[in-house]
Amino acid sequence: MKASKSIFTHAAVFAVGIAIAFVARQSSENGADASGDARRSSLSSGGSETGSADGPASASNRERREAAARGEKEREGRERKLEDIVHIGDPLDRQIALLEALKRLGPNDFAAFSDQYRSLDHYGNSRGEYEMILRAWAKADPLGALTHAGERPDGFGDQTVLLAAWAGSDASAAERWALANYEGDGPNPYLASVIRGVAVNDISHASALAASMPNSRERGEAMDAITRALMVQGADAAMAFPNSIQDPDMKGGYISMIADRLANKDAQAAADWVASFPDAAMQNRGARRVADALARQDVEKAAAWVEKLQPAAQAEAARGVIQPMSSNDIAGTAKWVTTLNGIPNYDRVVEEFVWSCDVRSPEQSAAWIAGVSDPAQKTRLYHRMLGEWARRDPAAVKNWVANNPVPGSVSQRFR
């Protein structure tokens, strides 16, 4: 009995399997031509072979088309928005609107945005606003921004801004790029840009990078950026910094730059600091700028300060005093210059006085040239000073030369 049931069960399953296979084969044979026609129809109407009009492939294509349409619409919206921004007349409102627009850009949006900004007309000097775009781009995609800028013949300036901005957030990456992408033999201008960004966060490393550069304009720019960062930390930090520099030329350069900025804020503090250096060469680097700042406040105090310096630094400091002093008292300045006779580089003091009064008192100015001890310098100074005077009053120059001893070449020129 159990055997009969078992046989019946197996037979039933077998019969059902044969029926399913038969139906499947008949459906396949009957629908083959219709399926081929449908597939050809779908392909001819732009459909996908892998899915019907409502299938996954068509849905994916539709999503891509819709995304592309949205992207194009967003791009057009940004372009119209940027045109509206540059037409804002108030500079503050315009920059606020530009900042808001930059916040909404993705990394892939900056190239078109910056190119459009460069193509538009602007009110006033738009460089500062354009740098805002570059700095935002450097945060979003520094390598893409540098590549895009490098593809333009005039893109070097943009690269320097981008590198400085990048170095402020990722100094090591920016430094590697600067070293890898410069192929010249001279000083690396990319490195100077990196130093500007590094100095904001790490003055010690910025200084080390500057020291690795040859003496050049680029190194001077890097040192200036470091000096600016030092002054932000405060005058005490700035004045202490040169003592950490071993190279005499770089140390003197920092003293000159710091003295220049400090003199604008506190001339007396700058004067005391420069005078504190025991080395005349270091005093020399800041003496003239500090003396000028002091003299514009108090000429007598400035003249007295000159005498506190090392003799070899006094001439440079005196040159800073002469112009402010002479502007009010030519005769008094002449007397003071006479008291300095005998200091090193006195000829430079005399020449400074000559130029301080060459227009207001040309006869006295010309007469003082005789006090220059170096014959070649004296001759050059006669030709320059008298030549400018002759453009204003040739008859007066001819008369003065005829009645004063001058070098032969000067006499022949102006007789």
Q: What is the pLDDT of residue 358?
A: 96
Angstrom distance (rounded) from CA 290 to CA 276: 13
Q: What is the dihedral of CA 122, 127, 129, 132, to 10 degrees?
A: 150
Q: Could you give phi then psi for residue 100, rounded to 5 degrees?
A: -65, -40
Is 345 part of a structural domain of the chain? Answer: no
Is 88 part of a structural domain of the chain? Answer: yes
222 residue type, one letter: A
Task: With cut-offs at 50, 70 and 90, classify the pLDDT of residue 125.
Answer: confident
Task: With cut-offs at 50, 70 and 90, classify the pLDDT of residue 71.
Answer: low
Q: What is the pLDDT of residue 284?
A: 96
Angstrom distance (rounded) from CA 219 to CA 273: 24
What is the number of structural domains in the chain? 1
Is 95 part of a structural domain of the chain? Answer: yes
Q: What is the pLDDT of residue 54?
A: 57
In this structure, the number of other CB atoms found within 10 A of the CB of residue 351 comes to 23
In angstroms, the Cα distances linking 100 to 116, 141, 165, 294, 350 are 17, 18, 19, 46, 59
Mean of the pLDDT values across residues 1-5? 36
319 residue type, one letter: R
What SS3 class is residue 303?
helix
Angstrom distance (rounded) from CA 26 to CA 319: 111
Is 341 part of a structural domain of the chain? Answer: no
Do residues 331 and 340 touch, judged by C-beta distance below 8 A?
no
What SS3 class is residue 35?
helix
Q: Could you give phi then psi for residue 84, rounded to 5 degrees?
A: -65, -40
Decide which of 28 and 286 is more confident: 286
Tokens (6 digits) for 314: 């006094």
Tokens (6 digits) for 261: 């900025």
Q: Could you give phi then psi for residue 388, rounded to 5 degrees?
A: -70, -40
In this structure, the number of other CB atoms found within 10 A of the CB of residue 189 comes to 20
Domain span at residue 102 reads 67-140
Q: What is the dihedral of CA 357, 358, 359, 364, to 10 degrees?
A: 80
Q: Name 260's Cβ contacts closer than 8 Å, sequence gap at least 6.
A: 286, 289
Is 415 part of a structural domain of the chain? Answer: no
Angstrom distance (rounded) from CA 234 to CA 264: 14
Is 313 part of a structural domain of the chain? Answer: no
Q: Give the model confidence (pLDDT) of 226-271 as tens digits.
A: 999 999 999 999 999 999 999 999 999 999 999 999 999 999 999 9
Q: Which segment of 82-86, 182-186, 190-194, 258-262 scores lowest on mean pLDDT? A: 182-186
Task: With cut-offs at 50, 70 and 90, classify the pLDDT of residue 5.
Answer: very low
Is 125 part of a structural domain of the chain? Answer: yes
Is 208 part of a structural domain of the chain? Answer: no
Q: Name 227's Cβ contacts closer than 8 Å, sequence gap at least 6.
A: 238, 254, 257, 258, 261
Reported residue count of the chain is: 415
